[in-house]
A and B are shown apart, each in its own frame.
Chain A
Amino acid sequence: MVEERPSKKLYHRHFTRNMVLFVIVVSFVPMLLVSGLLLYEYSISYHEKLYAHLKEVVHRHAQDIDSFLNERLNNLQFLLDSCQNENLHDESILQEKLFQLQQKYDGVFEDLGLINEQGVQEAYAGRFSLEKAEYSDAKWFQEAREKPYYISDVFLGLRSRPHFIVSVKSFHQGRYFLLRSTINFEAFNSLAENLRIGKTGSAYILNRNGDFQTKPHYDMFSSNKSYMDFIKAGKKAKHGIYIGEIQDASGSEKAIYLAALLKNEDWILVYQQEKKEAFSDLISTQIVAAVILLFGALLIVIMNVLLFHKVINHITEVDREKEMMNRQIIETGKLASVGRLAAGTAHEINNPVAIMVQEAGWIDDLLKEEEFREGKNLKEIERALKQIENQGKRCKEITHKLLSFARTSDTPIQNLQINEIIKEVVAISDKTSYTGISINTYLDETIPSIYGSQTEIQQVLLNLINNALYALKKDGGKIDISTRLAGRHVLVSVEDDGPGIPEANLDRIFDPFFTTKPVGEGNGLGLSICFGIIQRMGGEIKVHSTIDVGTRFDIRFPLKKPMALKSENLSA
């Protein structure tokens, strides 16, 4: 049993580890699945919501910009329609119209010019002196004369400032003219610049060549992207908006973008924002969820480990108890079989011993006859015969004791006050023959009575006290006898502070014929008889001993009368 312990421990450790892992997996998998699913769904809906919002914003801005441009064209068209062509050649009228437009649209129009087929500006109103300016080679003019309405890209032009031109073509007397106006760049720029969200969310406009049409506010990711890149890389969504992601040079910082086409797809309005910022709410939610998850996981692990430790401790305790019980059962079984054997042997021995004793008696009878009276060795023969008789008696005592631990009790089972019995036994125990030994009793007077045979219990207590006295014989010491209620038992402890019992002997102490006393002083039956008596009463006797500290015998007497006092059928 002892050598089993390490493997049992190992088994327990294995068991704990497996169970902890199992429970952790079982509790983690659904937790991770559910939280993963929730986070995933949340992330998707958050993406959708965010993109929907941004799409709306970008779309509206694109519309605003488009309508701004269209309005400018309409302004010019209206001007053309409302004035005679000739009038517009008059610079003072042009000046007046410009002034009116500037008044009405808060400085959006910077100047007005009327250009003939050859690209010569015939009339001009504005801050710059561009009268008779020659535009025939200008790119915008070449494009503008092909179309009834035209809006140029932003360029530096003659005045070396970013600006763009809107122009409307008009026919008059077989010739056509272009009415053009320079649009204030700042006014236009602000249309795109207004689209600002957070720290990094900003918008700009690109033309087909990838040139900026507005001043980019936040120019982090734009360098390598052109107009077509956005369209190609992005995913087309509602209202002709393209959605995608861009990476910076290092490839780590990511940004999202939404692009909307403008001005008959000549321009593109790009809104971009760092992903980190755009999804900051989502990210912080994810972090919180991760922390909670981690914390929960940690809690589960800790709880698991603690719980299983507790369970294992409990199992170990139960195992230990079971093992002890097994031991006791083995002990009892051993005693029973030894008892049966002893009883049989005892009976068989009695007969030959009886014959020997009687034959010795017969010799003694014969010696009394006349002829032997004068025998030289008569005295010696008589002594020898007496010795045979005495040894026969001794054999009988041994067999009697052997039988008694297998025998049912002869005295009636009755209600007993164990304290009273202890007092009596202490009073009669032969302590006077030992010096320096004291017997102290610590008796709980409130303990209930027990059922048993008075003589048997006396025998048990006397046996234990005599053993303790024997242990203390050499060096003296004290014997403490205590009683108390322990659960559904009355616990009687007999404790001495003697030399203790070596561990090797502890297992055999209740075995019949086991004794450490010199030959002739003890027959090794005392404790096995005690064991048998207590067992039959449904009680329990245990020994605890430490070398050089002392020995304690604990006897537990059951309170309730056992269903049937076991009458072991050990006697013949």
Chain B
Amino acid sequence: MPESQDVNEKKIKVLLVDDEKSFVEVLNKRLSKRNIDVTMTFSGTEGIRALRKVDFDVAILDLKMEDMNGLEVLKIFKKIYPKMEVIILTGHESEQTAREGVKYGAFAYLTKPCVFEQLYDTIKKAISD
């Protein structure tokens, strides 16, 4: 992606991992508009591949994807680049996955549909910590 090649040190780098393409795209637009450097991936493997190339600040991760379970992806993310904060954003709300997510080092657990401002604030909070 050409924008990400223009390395602007101040821009927050966010990795979106979700197999809902439309959702990823609209989030990309809204976050980009707020000066966030977004990389869109549409599966767990794509996300992992992207992380191997770039050190992202924050990842927004869906839990239920066709190729991989989000929690597995989370574990791998944390192995590859532990400093990256992961925000889980899922439509499959469940306490068990929330607990496990926190256990594996997720920064936050949000459920769809979520208010955009809440997500944005969480990202901000994640990088300020």
Q: Which residues of A contact B (CB under 8 A)?
A: 347-351, 353-359, 361-362, 365, 389, 392-393, 395-396, 399-400, 403, 407-408, 410, 571-572
Contacts and interface: CB of A to CB of B under 8 A. Distances in A.
A362 B26 contact: yes
Given A351-B20, A357-B115, A410-B95, 4 more contacts: A351-B91, A361-B30, A393-B115, A395-B113
15 contacts: A347-B91, A347-B93, A350-B91, A351-B23, A354-B114, A355-B23, A356-B113, A358-B116, A365-B29, A365-B33, A393-B113, A393-B115, A395-B113, A403-B93, A572-B97
B30 A365 contact: yes
Contacts of B93: 347, 350, 399-400, 403
Of the listed residues A348, A351, A365, A572, the one surrounded by the most CB atoms of chain B closer than 10 A to its CB is A351
B115 A355 contact: no
Contacts of A353: 112-113
A410 B93 CA distance: 13
A354 B112 contact: yes
B5 interface: no
Please classify the interface of chain A as helix (H, G, I), strand (E, B), loop, or mixed, using the class held by over half of its residues.
helix
Nearest to A389: B115
A350 B26 contact: no
A403 B111 CA distance: 13
Contacts of B8: none
Contacts of A359: 22, 26
A572 B95 contact: no
B92 A347 contact: yes
Of the listed residues B23, B26, B33, B97, the one surrounded by the most CB atoms of chain A closer than 10 A to its CB is B26
B94 interface: yes
Interface string B4-32: 00000000000000001011001101100
Contacts of A408: 95-96
Given A362-B26, A365-B30, A572-B64, A357 B92 contact: no
A121 B95 CA distance: 149
Nearest to B97: A572
B98 to A, nearest CB: 9
Interface residues of B, number: 22
Nearest to B33: A365
B112 A351 contact: yes
Contacts of A395: 113
5 closest Cβ contacts across the A-B interface? A350-B91, A354-B112, A354-B113, A358-B26, A357-B113
Contacts of B114: 354
Nearest to A567: B96
Nearest to A353: B113
A408 B95 CA distance: 8
Interface in B101-129: 111-116
B81 to A, nearest CB: 27
B113 A392 contact: yes
A395 B116 CA distance: 16
A54 B93 CA distance: 109
A356 B96 CA distance: 27
Nearest to A395: B113
Nearest to A344: B92
Contacts of A358: 23, 26-27, 30, 113, 116
A407 B111 CA distance: 16
Contacts of A399: 93
Contacts of B116: 357-358, 361
B26 to A, nearest CB: 4
A410 B96 CA distance: 9
A353 B33 CA distance: 22
B22 A355 contact: yes
Given A355-B23, A358-B30, A362-B30, A350 B112 contact: yes
Contacts of A403: 93-94
Nearest to B27: A358
Of the listed residues A349, A355, A395, A571, the one surrounded by the most CB atoms of chain B closer than 10 A to its CB is A355
Nearest to A572: B92
Contacts of B33: 365
A571 B96 CA distance: 9
Contacts of B91: 347-351, 354
B111 A396 contact: yes
Contacts of B64: 347, 572
A49 B32 CA distance: 128
Of the listed residues A349, A358, A359, A362, the one surrounded by the most CB atoms of chain B closer than 10 A to its CB is A358
Contact of B94 (A354, A365, A571): A571
A393 B113 CA distance: 7
B72 to A, nearest CB: 15
A358 B31 CA distance: 11
B26 A355 contact: yes
Interface in B37-65: 64
Contacts of B30: 358, 361-362, 365
Nearest to B93: A403
A572 B116 CA distance: 25
Nearest to A358: B26
Given A355-B23, A389-B115, A362 B96 contact: no
A382 to B, nearest CB: 15
A389 B117 CA distance: 12
A385 to B, nearest CB: 12
A262 to B, nearest CB: 120
Contacts of A357: 113, 115-116
Of the listed residues A389, A393, A407, A572, the one surrounded by the most CB atoms of chain B closer than 10 A to its CB is A572
Contacts of B20: 351, 354-355
A407 B112 contact: no
Contacts of A400: 93
A362 B112 contact: no
Contacts of B113: 350, 353-354, 356-358, 392-393, 395-396
A353 B94 CA distance: 18
A410 B29 CA distance: 36
Contacts of B22: 355, 359
Contacts of A349: 91
A572 B94 contact: yes
